[in-house]
Amino acid sequence: MKGASNETSTADFTNHLEEYEKVLVANEFNVYECTNCDCPFAVSQRFEDHSEIVCPSCLDDSHVIDVGAGTMMKRD
């Protein structure tokens, strides 16, 4: 092939891990579940007062349990 080169190029991953970690921190959530209507939902950890959390489906707070922390990932 005319003009073809045998040189290989490498991807530049400088600061890639640091940027990825920033994205993960920005997308951290507390995951909850309503035992009344079986609705799972998440609330950003940046939301300061988690004591006022209600189920978005049945609007009840008495059956909401904290399932744990989670991270949401967006696919392109």
C-alpha torsion sign, points 59, 65, 71, 75: negative
Q: What pTM does this model have?
A: 0.59
Give the per-residue pLDDT at 59. Answer: 94
pLDDT band at 69 (very low <50, low <70, confident <90, very high): confident
User: How much is the average pLDDT of 15-24?
Assistant: 59
Q: In the predicted model, what is the mean pLDDT of the chain?
A: 77
C-alpha torsion sign, points 69, 73, 33, 47: positive
